[in-house]
Amino acid sequence: MNTKQCVIDMHAHFFPVLRQEEAAQYDAGRTPWLRINEDGKNGMILIGDQEFRPVYNALWDSAARIEEMDALGVDMQLVCAAPVMFGYACQADTAQRWCRSMNDYLIENCCSYNPKRLKALCQVPLQDIDAACREVSRAKSLGHIGAQIGNHVGDKDLNDPDLLTFLAHCANEEIPILVHPWDMTGLGGRMKKWQLPWLVGMPAETHLSILSLILSGSFERLPRSLKICFAHGGGSFAYLLGRADNAWHEHGKVRQDCPHPPSYYCDRFSVDSAVFDPKALRFLAGIMGVERIMLGSDYPFPMGERNIGSLIQGSDFTDEEKAAMLARNAKKFFIIQ
By CB under 8 A, name the binding residues for its own copies: 152, 154-155, 157, 183, 185-191, 193-196, 198-201, 203-205, 207-208, 211-212, 215-216, 232, 236, 238-247, 250-251, 253-254, 256-258, 274-277, 279-280, 283, 286-287, 302-303, 305-306
Q: Kindly state the DSSP code that residue 83 receives in the 8-state scheme.
A: G
Q: Which is nearer to its own copies, 147 or 204 (CB)?
A: 204
Q: Which is nearer to its own copies, 48 or 217 (CB)?
A: 217
Q: Which amino acid is at 174?
A: E
Under a CB-based contact definition with an 8 Å cutoff, are residues 305 and 11 in contact? no
Shortest reach from residue 2's CB to its own copies, in Å = 26
Q: Which is nearer to its own copies, 207 or 227 (CB)?
A: 207
Q: Which is nearer to its own copies, 45 or 111 (CB)?
A: 45
Q: Which is nearer to its own copies, 144 or 152 (CB)?
A: 152
Q: Which is nearer to its own copies, 226 or 241 (CB)?
A: 241
Distances (CA, A) of 94 to 83, 156, 219: 17, 20, 32
Shortest reach from residue 296's CB to its own copies, in Å = 13
Under a CB-based contact definition with an 8 Å cutoff, are residues 124 and 147 in contact? yes
Shortest reach from residue 185's CB to its own copies, in Å = 6
Q: Which is nearer to its own copies, 53 or 332 (CB)?
A: 53
Under a CB-based contact definition with an 8 Å cutoff, are residues 180 and 234 in contact? no
Shortest reach from residue 143's CB to its own copies, in Å = 32
Shortest reach from residue 130's CB to its own copies, in Å = 23
Preceding peptide of 278 cis, ω within 30°: no
Q: Kindly state the DSSP code that residue 227 receives in the 8-state scheme.
A: -
Shortest reach from residue 151's CB to its own copies, in Å = 10
Shortest reach from residue 283's CB to its own copies, in Å = 5
The neighbouring-strand residues paired with 120 are: 79
Give the rounded distance of the alpha carbon of 215 from its chain centre: 22
Question: Which secondary structure element, helix H or strand E, spans residue 230, and what is its range?
Answer: strand 228-230
CA distance 17 to 226: 33
Distances (CA, A) of 17 to 58, 122, 180, 209: 12, 17, 22, 31
According to DSSP, the β-strands at 152-153 and 156-157 are antiparallel
Q: Which amino acid is at 31?
A: T
Q: Which is nearer to its own copies, 96 or 159 (CB)?
A: 159
Shortest reach from residue 103's CB to its own copies, in Å = 27
Distances (CA, A) of 260 to 214, 248, 263: 9, 8, 8
